[in-house]
Structure 1
Amino acid sequence: MLRPPTAALVTVTAMALAGPAAAQEVPQSAAPDAAPAPAIAAPATGSVTPPVAAPGPAAPGPTPAPGAPPDALSLDFEKTPPPPTNVIYLQYGVAFTAEAVLAPGPICDNVEVPCIIGQGAGVAARLGWRSTGAWYLGVAYAFSKQDPNKLYRLAILQQARAEARYYVDTGRQLQPYASGGGGAMGYGNEWGVDTLGPTVFVGGGVEAQITRRTVVGVGLTYRMAYLSSFVDTSGTARDAGLPQFLSLELTLEHRDPIH
Protein backbone atom coordinates (compact mmCIF):
# COMPACT_ATOMS: atom_id res chain seq x y z
CA MET A 1 0.00 0.00 0.00
CA LEU A 2 1.43 3.47 -0.95
CA ARG A 3 1.89 6.07 1.86
CA PRO A 4 1.56 9.82 1.27
CA PRO A 5 4.89 11.76 1.33
CA THR A 6 5.86 13.29 4.66
CA ALA A 7 6.51 17.03 5.23
CA ALA A 8 10.31 16.55 5.40
CA LEU A 9 10.36 14.81 2.07
CA VAL A 10 8.30 17.59 0.52
CA THR A 11 10.75 20.25 1.81
CA VAL A 12 13.84 18.46 0.46
CA THR A 13 12.14 17.96 -2.88
CA ALA A 14 11.23 21.67 -3.10
CA MET A 15 14.80 22.77 -2.34
CA ALA A 16 16.18 20.43 -4.94
CA LEU A 17 13.84 21.86 -7.54
CA ALA A 18 14.65 25.49 -6.55
CA GLY A 19 18.39 24.97 -7.16
CA PRO A 20 21.44 26.60 -5.54
CA ALA A 21 19.78 30.02 -5.21
CA ALA A 22 17.53 28.73 -2.48
CA ALA A 23 20.49 27.16 -0.68
CA GLN A 24 22.28 30.56 -0.57
CA GLU A 25 19.21 32.34 0.84
CA VAL A 26 19.04 30.12 3.88
CA PRO A 27 22.22 31.37 5.69
CA GLN A 28 21.46 34.99 4.72
CA SER A 29 18.01 34.77 6.24
CA ALA A 30 19.46 33.07 9.28
CA ALA A 31 21.81 36.00 10.13
CA PRO A 32 20.67 39.08 8.25
CA ASP A 33 22.54 41.54 10.53
CA ALA A 34 26.01 39.91 10.31
CA ALA A 35 28.67 42.05 8.57
CA PRO A 36 30.64 40.41 5.77
CA ALA A 37 34.23 39.50 6.68
CA PRO A 38 36.90 41.64 4.99
CA ALA A 39 38.82 40.04 2.21
CA ILE A 40 42.57 39.66 2.89
CA ALA A 41 44.74 39.22 -0.13
CA ALA A 42 47.59 36.81 0.43
CA PRO A 43 51.02 37.95 -0.71
CA ALA A 44 52.09 36.48 -3.95
CA THR A 45 54.70 33.82 -3.69
CA GLY A 46 58.24 35.08 -4.51
CA SER A 47 57.36 38.82 -4.40
CA VAL A 48 60.03 41.30 -3.10
CA THR A 49 59.32 44.64 -1.43
CA PRO A 50 60.89 47.41 -3.55
CA PRO A 51 63.67 49.44 -1.78
CA VAL A 52 63.00 52.97 -0.58
CA ALA A 53 64.50 55.48 -3.00
CA ALA A 54 67.21 57.79 -1.56
CA PRO A 55 66.34 61.49 -1.49
CA GLY A 56 67.79 63.44 -4.41
CA PRO A 57 69.94 66.61 -4.16
CA ALA A 58 68.25 69.73 -2.92
CA ALA A 59 67.07 72.10 -5.55
CA PRO A 60 69.31 75.19 -5.97
CA GLY A 61 68.15 78.40 -4.37
CA PRO A 62 66.61 81.14 -6.41
CA THR A 63 68.98 83.28 -8.45
CA PRO A 64 68.75 86.98 -7.51
CA ALA A 65 67.40 89.18 -10.22
CA PRO A 66 69.84 91.56 -11.95
CA GLY A 67 70.04 94.85 -10.12
CA ALA A 68 68.66 93.41 -6.88
CA PRO A 69 70.43 94.57 -3.66
CA PRO A 70 72.96 92.04 -2.27
CA ASP A 71 71.95 89.96 0.70
CA ALA A 72 73.59 90.18 4.12
CA LEU A 73 76.04 87.33 3.42
CA SER A 74 77.32 89.03 0.28
CA LEU A 75 77.83 92.27 2.18
CA ASP A 76 79.82 90.42 4.85
CA PHE A 77 82.13 88.98 2.20
CA GLU A 78 82.62 92.44 0.68
CA LYS A 79 83.65 93.86 4.05
CA THR A 80 85.99 90.99 4.84
CA PRO A 81 89.62 92.17 4.65
CA PRO A 82 91.97 90.46 2.23
CA PRO A 83 93.77 87.43 3.66
CA PRO A 84 97.30 87.88 5.02
CA THR A 85 99.89 87.62 2.29
CA ASN A 86 102.42 84.78 2.31
CA VAL A 87 104.35 86.12 -0.67
CA ILE A 88 107.51 88.22 -0.80
CA TYR A 89 106.96 91.39 -2.82
CA LEU A 90 109.04 93.91 -4.70
CA GLN A 91 107.47 97.18 -3.57
CA TYR A 92 108.11 100.40 -5.46
CA GLY A 93 106.44 103.74 -5.96
CA VAL A 94 106.53 107.51 -5.76
CA ALA A 95 105.68 110.12 -3.16
CA PHE A 96 104.88 113.80 -3.07
CA THR A 97 106.81 115.46 -0.26
CA ALA A 98 106.76 118.66 1.75
CA GLU A 99 109.97 119.61 3.58
CA ALA A 100 109.53 122.00 6.49
CA VAL A 101 112.70 123.37 8.09
CA LEU A 102 112.30 123.14 11.87
CA ALA A 103 115.72 124.60 12.59
CA PRO A 104 118.31 125.56 9.95
CA GLY A 105 121.21 125.33 12.39
CA PRO A 106 124.53 127.20 12.07
CA ILE A 107 124.00 127.58 8.33
CA CYS A 108 121.71 130.50 9.11
CA ASP A 109 123.34 131.84 12.29
CA ASN A 110 124.46 135.02 10.55
CA VAL A 111 121.51 137.36 11.01
CA GLU A 112 123.01 139.98 8.68
CA VAL A 113 122.20 137.88 5.61
CA PRO A 114 119.03 135.95 4.72
CA CYS A 115 118.78 132.27 5.57
CA ILE A 116 119.72 130.24 2.54
CA ILE A 117 117.48 127.26 3.21
CA GLY A 118 113.73 127.50 3.74
CA GLN A 119 110.57 125.47 3.21
CA GLY A 120 110.17 123.33 0.11
CA ALA A 121 108.34 120.57 -1.72
CA GLY A 122 109.29 117.82 -4.12
CA VAL A 123 109.01 114.17 -5.08
CA ALA A 124 110.59 110.88 -4.02
CA ALA A 125 111.03 107.48 -5.64
CA ARG A 126 111.62 104.28 -3.72
CA LEU A 127 112.24 100.60 -4.28
CA GLY A 128 112.25 97.90 -1.65
CA TRP A 129 111.66 94.35 -0.44
CA ARG A 130 108.46 93.58 1.45
CA SER A 131 108.69 90.43 3.54
CA THR A 132 105.89 88.00 4.35
CA GLY A 133 105.92 89.41 7.85
CA ALA A 134 106.06 92.96 9.14
CA TRP A 135 109.22 94.32 7.50
CA TYR A 136 109.96 96.51 4.50
CA LEU A 137 113.58 97.28 3.56
CA GLY A 138 114.40 99.59 0.69
CA VAL A 139 116.17 102.58 -0.78
CA ALA A 140 114.86 105.97 -1.83
CA TYR A 141 115.95 109.05 -3.73
CA ALA A 142 114.22 112.38 -3.11
CA PHE A 143 114.67 115.94 -4.24
CA SER A 144 112.82 119.09 -3.29
CA LYS A 145 112.92 122.73 -4.30
CA GLN A 146 113.61 124.84 -1.24
CA ASP A 147 113.19 128.56 -0.65
CA PRO A 148 116.72 130.11 -0.75
CA ASN A 149 115.61 133.70 -0.17
CA LYS A 150 116.87 134.63 -3.65
CA LEU A 151 120.41 133.52 -2.90
CA TYR A 152 120.11 130.60 -5.32
CA ARG A 153 118.40 130.59 -8.68
CA LEU A 154 117.11 127.05 -8.15
CA ALA A 155 117.83 125.63 -4.70
CA ILE A 156 117.62 121.83 -4.68
CA LEU A 157 117.83 119.62 -1.60
CA GLN A 158 118.75 116.04 -2.59
CA GLN A 159 118.60 112.91 -0.46
CA ALA A 160 119.66 109.31 -0.98
CA ARG A 161 118.75 107.04 1.90
CA ALA A 162 118.13 103.51 3.09
CA GLU A 163 114.75 102.92 4.70
CA ALA A 164 113.08 100.40 6.97
CA ARG A 165 109.44 100.08 7.97
CA TYR A 166 107.81 97.90 10.57
CA TYR A 167 104.12 97.29 9.91
CA VAL A 168 101.52 96.61 12.58
CA ASP A 169 99.14 93.88 11.39
CA THR A 170 95.58 95.00 12.07
CA GLY A 171 93.78 92.47 9.83
CA ARG A 172 92.29 95.40 7.91
CA GLN A 173 93.07 97.38 4.78
CA LEU A 174 94.71 100.06 6.94
CA GLN A 175 98.17 99.25 8.29
CA PRO A 176 100.15 101.67 10.47
CA TYR A 177 103.93 101.47 10.46
CA ALA A 178 107.02 102.90 12.11
CA SER A 179 109.94 103.91 9.91
CA GLY A 180 113.59 104.80 10.25
CA GLY A 181 116.79 104.98 8.26
CA GLY A 182 119.70 107.06 7.13
CA GLY A 183 121.68 108.23 4.15
CA ALA A 184 123.21 111.32 2.62
CA MET A 185 121.88 114.84 2.00
CA GLY A 186 123.20 117.51 -0.36
CA TYR A 187 122.16 121.09 -1.00
CA GLY A 188 123.10 123.53 -3.73
CA ASN A 189 122.13 125.60 -6.73
CA GLU A 190 120.71 124.10 -9.93
CA TRP A 191 121.38 120.46 -9.04
CA GLY A 192 124.84 121.30 -7.75
CA VAL A 193 126.04 120.26 -4.30
CA ASP A 194 127.56 123.06 -2.22
CA THR A 195 127.19 121.29 1.12
CA LEU A 196 126.93 117.61 1.88
CA GLY A 197 126.55 115.38 4.91
CA PRO A 198 124.89 112.36 6.53
CA THR A 199 121.26 112.27 7.58
CA VAL A 200 119.12 110.07 9.82
CA PHE A 201 115.38 109.98 10.33
CA VAL A 202 112.55 108.39 12.29
CA GLY A 203 108.85 108.54 11.56
CA GLY A 204 105.61 106.72 11.03
CA GLY A 205 102.61 106.53 8.81
CA VAL A 206 99.70 104.47 7.62
CA GLU A 207 99.03 102.55 4.41
CA ALA A 208 95.68 101.72 2.82
CA GLN A 209 95.34 98.80 0.41
CA ILE A 210 93.13 99.87 -2.50
CA THR A 211 93.72 96.79 -4.67
CA ARG A 212 95.45 93.47 -4.16
CA ARG A 213 98.80 95.00 -5.18
CA THR A 214 98.40 98.78 -4.86
CA VAL A 215 98.67 100.82 -1.67
CA VAL A 216 98.43 104.50 -0.85
CA GLY A 217 99.67 106.09 2.31
CA VAL A 218 100.67 109.11 4.31
CA GLY A 219 103.78 109.45 6.44
CA LEU A 220 105.39 111.97 8.75
CA THR A 221 109.15 111.96 9.29
CA TYR A 222 111.54 113.83 11.54
CA ARG A 223 114.93 114.20 9.87
CA MET A 224 118.28 115.54 11.06
CA ALA A 225 121.38 116.10 8.93
CA TYR A 226 124.92 117.28 9.32
CA LEU A 227 125.83 119.69 6.52
CA SER A 228 129.40 120.81 5.93
CA SER A 229 130.49 124.45 5.82
CA PHE A 230 130.45 126.26 2.49
CA VAL A 231 130.40 129.68 0.83
CA ASP A 232 127.19 130.63 -0.94
CA THR A 233 126.80 132.62 -4.16
CA SER A 234 126.78 135.92 -2.28
CA GLY A 235 130.20 135.17 -0.81
CA THR A 236 128.85 134.56 2.68
CA ALA A 237 130.51 131.80 4.67
CA ARG A 238 128.08 129.27 6.05
CA ASP A 239 129.09 127.24 9.08
CA ALA A 240 128.65 123.50 9.37
CA GLY A 241 125.77 122.38 11.49
CA LEU A 242 122.73 120.24 12.14
CA PRO A 243 119.61 121.42 10.32
CA GLN A 244 116.36 119.69 11.27
CA PHE A 245 113.42 118.94 9.02
CA LEU A 246 109.87 117.67 9.27
CA SER A 247 108.74 115.86 6.15
CA LEU A 248 105.21 114.96 5.05
CA GLU A 249 104.77 112.29 2.35
CA LEU A 250 101.80 111.17 0.29
CA THR A 251 102.74 107.81 -1.22
CA LEU A 252 101.52 105.61 -4.06
CA GLU A 253 103.19 102.20 -4.24
CA HIS A 254 102.80 98.94 -6.13
CA ARG A 255 103.75 95.38 -5.20
CA ASP A 256 104.97 92.66 -7.54
CA PRO A 257 105.38 89.11 -6.17
CA ILE A 258 108.92 87.75 -6.45
CA HIS A 259 108.55 84.51 -4.41
Structure 2
Amino acid sequence: MLASWAAATAFLVPSEARSQPATAVPAAPEPDGGAPTPTTATPPPGTEGEPAAPSIAQPESTTPISRTIQDFERAPPPPTNVVYLQYGVAFTAEVLSSAGAICSNTTVPCILGTGGGITIRAGWRGTGSLYIGGAYALSKQDPNKLLRLAILQQARAEGRYYLMTGRDTEPYLMLGLGVAGYGNEWSVDTYGPAASLGAGIEAQVTRRTVVGVAVGYRVLHFNSFTDTSGADREAGIAQFVGLDLVLEQRDPIFTERKR
Protein backbone atom coordinates (compact mmCIF):
# COMPACT_ATOMS: atom_id res chain seq x y z
CA MET A 1 0.00 0.00 0.00
CA LEU A 2 2.77 2.44 0.98
CA ALA A 3 4.82 1.56 -2.08
CA SER A 4 1.87 2.32 -4.38
CA TRP A 5 1.41 5.75 -2.69
CA ALA A 6 5.10 6.75 -3.12
CA ALA A 7 5.07 5.78 -6.79
CA ALA A 8 1.99 7.88 -7.42
CA THR A 9 3.49 10.95 -5.66
CA ALA A 10 6.72 10.78 -7.70
CA PHE A 11 4.70 10.60 -10.92
CA LEU A 12 2.71 13.78 -10.00
CA VAL A 13 5.79 16.03 -9.22
CA PRO A 14 6.55 18.41 -12.21
CA SER A 15 9.61 17.69 -14.26
CA GLU A 16 11.06 21.27 -13.66
CA ALA A 17 11.23 20.68 -9.93
CA ARG A 18 13.00 17.40 -10.43
CA SER A 19 15.60 19.06 -12.71
CA GLN A 20 16.64 21.80 -10.13
CA PRO A 21 19.57 21.11 -7.82
CA ALA A 22 18.97 20.32 -4.22
CA THR A 23 20.51 23.56 -2.86
CA ALA A 24 20.09 26.80 -4.84
CA VAL A 25 22.61 29.69 -4.29
CA PRO A 26 20.97 33.14 -4.59
CA ALA A 27 22.49 35.35 -7.26
CA ALA A 28 24.37 38.55 -6.20
CA PRO A 29 22.31 41.75 -6.54
CA GLU A 30 23.06 43.84 -9.57
CA PRO A 31 24.30 47.46 -9.10
CA ASP A 32 22.07 50.46 -9.67
CA GLY A 33 21.15 50.90 -13.31
CA GLY A 34 20.49 47.29 -13.92
CA ALA A 35 23.58 46.77 -16.04
CA PRO A 36 25.75 43.88 -15.06
CA THR A 37 29.17 44.65 -13.65
CA PRO A 38 31.86 43.82 -16.20
CA THR A 39 34.42 41.39 -15.09
CA THR A 40 38.04 42.42 -15.67
CA ALA A 41 40.45 39.64 -16.02
CA THR A 42 43.83 40.02 -14.33
CA PRO A 43 46.51 40.03 -17.01
CA PRO A 44 49.19 37.48 -16.65
CA PRO A 45 52.65 38.50 -15.52
CA GLY A 46 54.77 40.07 -18.21
CA THR A 47 51.88 41.84 -19.99
CA GLU A 48 51.24 45.57 -20.26
CA GLY A 49 48.73 45.58 -17.41
CA GLU A 50 51.27 44.31 -14.86
CA PRO A 51 52.22 47.04 -12.32
CA ALA A 52 55.83 48.20 -12.65
CA ALA A 53 58.20 47.14 -9.91
CA PRO A 54 59.56 50.02 -7.79
CA SER A 55 62.97 51.22 -9.03
CA ILE A 56 65.89 51.36 -6.61
CA ALA A 57 68.07 54.48 -7.00
CA GLN A 58 71.71 53.64 -7.43
CA PRO A 59 74.14 55.82 -5.39
CA GLU A 60 76.17 58.21 -7.48
CA SER A 61 79.88 57.74 -7.61
CA THR A 62 81.20 60.74 -5.65
CA THR A 63 84.25 61.50 -3.50
CA PRO A 64 83.62 60.90 0.23
CA ILE A 65 82.87 64.08 2.15
CA SER A 66 85.52 63.41 4.78
CA ARG A 67 88.24 63.12 2.13
CA THR A 68 87.07 66.35 0.49
CA ILE A 69 87.26 68.21 3.82
CA GLN A 70 90.76 66.90 4.48
CA ASP A 71 91.93 68.01 1.04
CA PHE A 72 90.43 71.45 1.60
CA GLU A 73 92.17 71.84 4.98
CA ARG A 74 95.54 70.85 3.60
CA ALA A 75 95.32 73.08 0.56
CA PRO A 76 97.04 76.50 0.82
CA PRO A 77 94.79 79.56 0.84
CA PRO A 78 94.25 81.12 -2.57
CA PRO A 79 96.24 84.23 -3.46
CA THR A 80 94.42 87.39 -2.43
CA ASN A 81 94.11 90.70 -4.20
CA VAL A 82 92.20 92.42 -1.39
CA VAL A 83 93.56 95.47 0.45
CA TYR A 84 92.71 95.45 4.17
CA LEU A 85 92.40 97.86 7.04
CA GLN A 86 94.14 95.93 9.83
CA TYR A 87 93.63 97.09 13.39
CA GLY A 88 93.68 95.68 16.89
CA VAL A 89 95.15 95.65 20.34
CA ALA A 90 98.14 94.02 22.01
CA PHE A 91 99.07 93.29 25.59
CA THR A 92 102.55 94.72 25.99
CA ALA A 93 105.40 94.11 28.40
CA GLU A 94 108.14 96.76 28.50
CA VAL A 95 111.18 95.16 30.12
CA LEU A 96 113.89 97.68 31.00
CA SER A 97 117.27 96.69 29.62
CA SER A 98 119.19 99.87 30.44
CA ALA A 99 117.90 103.09 32.01
CA GLY A 100 120.89 105.12 30.76
CA ALA A 101 121.71 108.59 32.02
CA ILE A 102 118.24 109.15 33.47
CA CYS A 103 119.31 106.96 36.39
CA SER A 104 122.98 108.00 36.54
CA ASN A 105 122.46 109.82 39.88
CA THR A 106 123.33 107.12 42.40
CA THR A 107 122.16 109.19 45.40
CA VAL A 108 118.49 108.60 44.49
CA PRO A 109 116.66 105.50 43.27
CA CYS A 110 116.14 104.95 39.56
CA ILE A 111 112.89 106.51 38.43
CA LEU A 112 112.36 104.24 35.43
CA GLY A 113 111.76 100.49 35.63
CA THR A 114 109.96 97.57 33.98
CA GLY A 115 106.23 97.75 33.30
CA GLY A 116 103.35 96.63 31.15
CA GLY A 117 100.26 97.91 29.38
CA ILE A 118 98.43 97.89 26.05
CA THR A 119 99.14 98.95 22.48
CA ILE A 120 96.53 100.04 19.94
CA ARG A 121 97.35 99.65 16.25
CA ALA A 122 95.76 100.43 12.90
CA GLY A 123 97.24 100.27 9.43
CA TRP A 124 97.05 99.46 5.75
CA ARG A 125 97.76 95.88 4.68
CA GLY A 126 98.40 95.59 0.98
CA THR A 127 98.11 92.61 -1.31
CA GLY A 128 101.83 91.91 -1.03
CA SER A 129 104.24 91.79 1.88
CA LEU A 130 103.89 95.32 3.29
CA TYR A 131 101.95 96.69 6.24
CA ILE A 132 102.13 100.41 7.07
CA GLY A 133 100.38 101.80 10.12
CA GLY A 134 100.54 103.58 13.43
CA ALA A 135 100.63 102.51 17.06
CA TYR A 136 99.94 104.10 20.43
CA ALA A 137 101.37 102.31 23.46
CA LEU A 138 100.52 103.00 27.07
CA SER A 139 102.28 101.22 29.93
CA LYS A 140 102.65 101.61 33.69
CA GLN A 141 106.29 101.48 34.72
CA ASP A 142 107.94 100.89 38.09
CA PRO A 143 109.25 104.27 39.40
CA ASN A 144 110.62 102.94 42.73
CA LYS A 145 107.91 104.89 44.57
CA LEU A 146 109.17 108.24 43.29
CA LEU A 147 106.00 108.74 41.22
CA ARG A 148 102.42 107.96 42.18
CA LEU A 149 101.49 106.63 38.73
CA ALA A 150 104.39 106.42 36.31
CA ILE A 151 103.15 106.19 32.73
CA LEU A 152 105.23 105.66 29.61
CA GLN A 153 103.52 106.73 26.39
CA GLN A 154 104.73 105.94 22.88
CA ALA A 155 103.36 107.05 19.53
CA ARG A 156 105.09 105.65 16.48
CA ALA A 157 104.71 104.82 12.84
CA GLU A 158 105.26 101.14 12.13
CA GLY A 159 106.06 99.07 9.10
CA ARG A 160 106.02 95.30 8.68
CA TYR A 161 107.50 93.14 5.99
CA TYR A 162 105.82 89.74 5.82
CA LEU A 163 107.62 86.66 4.60
CA MET A 164 104.94 85.24 2.30
CA THR A 165 104.51 81.53 2.99
CA GLY A 166 101.18 80.91 1.26
CA ARG A 167 99.84 79.54 4.54
CA ASP A 168 97.74 80.94 7.35
CA THR A 169 100.88 81.55 9.48
CA GLU A 170 103.39 84.18 8.36
CA PRO A 171 106.46 85.65 10.09
CA TYR A 172 107.38 89.29 9.65
CA LEU A 173 110.03 91.92 10.41
CA MET A 174 109.00 95.18 12.06
CA LEU A 175 110.41 98.72 12.19
CA GLY A 176 109.04 101.68 14.16
CA LEU A 177 109.87 105.40 14.49
CA GLY A 178 108.15 107.90 16.76
CA VAL A 179 108.21 109.78 20.02
CA ALA A 180 107.97 108.75 23.69
CA GLY A 181 106.97 110.60 26.86
CA TYR A 182 107.31 109.70 30.53
CA GLY A 183 105.76 111.29 33.61
CA ASN A 184 103.44 111.10 36.58
CA GLU A 185 99.66 110.68 36.21
CA TRP A 186 99.38 111.37 32.49
CA SER A 187 101.70 114.36 32.59
CA VAL A 188 104.81 114.37 30.44
CA ASP A 189 107.90 115.24 32.50
CA THR A 190 110.36 114.20 29.81
CA TYR A 191 110.11 113.15 26.18
CA GLY A 192 112.18 112.44 23.11
CA PRO A 193 112.47 110.42 19.91
CA ALA A 194 112.00 106.66 19.88
CA ALA A 195 112.86 103.81 17.54
CA SER A 196 112.16 100.09 17.58
CA LEU A 197 113.19 97.03 15.63
CA GLY A 198 111.63 93.61 15.99
CA ALA A 199 110.16 90.45 14.56
CA GLY A 200 106.96 88.54 15.00
CA ILE A 201 104.68 85.83 13.71
CA GLU A 202 101.03 86.08 12.77
CA ALA A 203 98.39 83.36 12.37
CA GLN A 204 94.87 83.53 10.96
CA VAL A 205 92.13 82.32 13.30
CA THR A 206 89.46 83.14 10.73
CA ARG A 207 89.61 84.81 7.35
CA ARG A 208 89.57 88.23 9.06
CA THR A 209 90.90 87.64 12.58
CA VAL A 210 94.60 87.16 13.31
CA VAL A 211 96.62 86.54 16.45
CA GLY A 212 100.34 86.78 16.93
CA VAL A 213 103.33 87.46 19.09
CA ALA A 214 106.15 89.96 18.52
CA VAL A 215 109.41 90.83 20.20
CA GLY A 216 110.99 94.26 19.75
CA TYR A 217 114.08 96.15 20.81
CA ARG A 218 113.22 99.77 21.65
CA VAL A 219 115.51 102.77 22.07
CA LEU A 220 114.02 105.87 23.75
CA HIS A 221 115.83 109.18 24.24
CA PHE A 222 114.66 111.32 27.19
CA ASN A 223 115.49 114.96 27.82
CA SER A 224 116.84 116.15 31.17
CA PHE A 225 114.25 117.02 33.83
CA THR A 226 113.70 117.38 37.57
CA ASP A 227 111.51 114.73 39.16
CA THR A 228 108.93 115.23 41.94
CA SER A 229 111.53 114.59 44.64
CA GLY A 230 113.65 117.47 43.37
CA ALA A 231 116.40 115.27 41.92
CA ASP A 232 117.91 116.24 38.59
CA ARG A 233 117.74 113.67 35.82
CA GLU A 234 120.17 113.86 32.96
CA ALA A 235 119.26 113.39 29.32
CA GLY A 236 120.06 110.00 27.92
CA ILE A 237 118.94 106.87 26.12
CA ALA A 238 116.86 104.15 27.75
CA GLN A 239 116.63 100.68 26.23
CA PHE A 240 113.71 98.28 26.48
CA VAL A 241 112.78 94.82 25.23
CA GLY A 242 109.12 94.73 24.31
CA LEU A 243 106.87 91.68 24.10
CA ASP A 244 103.47 91.97 22.39
CA LEU A 245 100.60 89.48 22.39
CA VAL A 246 98.58 90.65 19.39
CA LEU A 247 94.91 90.33 18.44
CA GLU A 248 93.93 92.10 15.20
CA GLN A 249 91.06 92.31 12.74
CA ARG A 250 91.13 92.73 8.95
CA ASP A 251 88.40 94.63 7.11
CA PRO A 252 88.57 94.75 3.30
CA ILE A 253 88.88 98.23 1.82
CA PHE A 254 88.86 97.48 -1.89
CA THR A 255 89.87 94.77 -4.35
CA GLU A 256 92.65 95.30 -6.84
CA ARG A 257 92.14 93.93 -10.31
CA LYS A 258 94.45 91.14 -11.31
CA ARG A 259 96.69 91.92 -14.26
TM-score interval, smaller chain: 0.7 to 0.9
Query: Which residue of 185, 190, 194 corresponds with 1:195?
Result: 190
State the partner residue of 1:61. 61
Structure 1 residue runs of 4 or more that deviate by more than 6 Å after TM superposition: none
CA deviation profile, 1:83-120 (whole Å, cap 9, x unmatched) = 22211000000000000010000000111111000000
State the partner residue of 2:249. 254
Matched, 1:105 2:83: no
Matched, 1:148 2:143: yes
Most deviating of 206-215 and 77-86: 77-86
Distance (Å, rounded) in 2 between the aligned partners of 1:200 and 1:130:
21
CA deviation profile, 1:8-65 (whole Å, cap 9, x unmatched) = xxxxxxxxxxxxxxxxxxxxxxxxxxxxxxxxxxxxxxxxxxxxxxxxxx9623697x
Distance (Å, rounded) in 2 between the aligned partners of 1:249 and 1:232:
29
Distance (Å, rounded) in 2 between the aligned partners of 1:121 and 1:164:
22
What is the aligned-residue RMSD (CA, Å)? Answer: 1.5
Query: How many matched pairs?
Result: 197
State the partner residue of 2:116. 121
State the partner residue of 1:134. 129
Q: Which runs of 5+ in 1 are unaligned?
A: 1-57, 65-69
Distance (Å, rounded) in 2 between the aligned partners of 1:207 and 1:188:
33
CA deviation profile, 1:182-233 (whole Å, cap 9, x unmatched) = 0000000001100000001110000001100110000000010110000001
SS in 1 for 2:237: coil
Matched, 1:161 2:165: no
Shift of 1:76: 1.8
State the partner residue of 1:172. 167
CA deviation profile, 1:159-203 (whole Å, cap 9, x unmatched) = 000000000011111100000020000000001100000001110
Distance (Å, rounded) in 1 between the aligned partners of 2:142 and 2:77:
44
SS in 2 for 1:76: helix
Query: Which residue of 85, 88, 103 corresponds with 1:90?
Result: 85
SS in 2 for 1:107: helix
SS in 1 for 2:176: strand
Shift of 1:126: 0.7
- Identical pairs, percent: 60
Q: TM-score, normalised by structure 2?
A: 0.73
Distance (Å, rounded) in 2 between the aligned partners of 1:234 and 1:94:
35
Distance 1:63 1:222, change over 3 A: closer
Shift of 1:74: 2.4
Distance (Å, rounded) in 1 between the aligned partners of 2:88 and 2:79:
21
Distance (Å, rounded) in 2 between the aligned partners of 1:193 and 1:156:
9
Distance (Å, rounded) in 2 between the aligned partners of 1:72 and 1:210:
23
Distance 1:173 1:194, change over 3 A: same
Q: TM-score, normalised by structure 1?
A: 0.73
SS in 2 for 1:112: coil
Matched, 1:214 2:209: yes
Letter of the structure 2 residue corresponding to residue 237 of structure 1? D
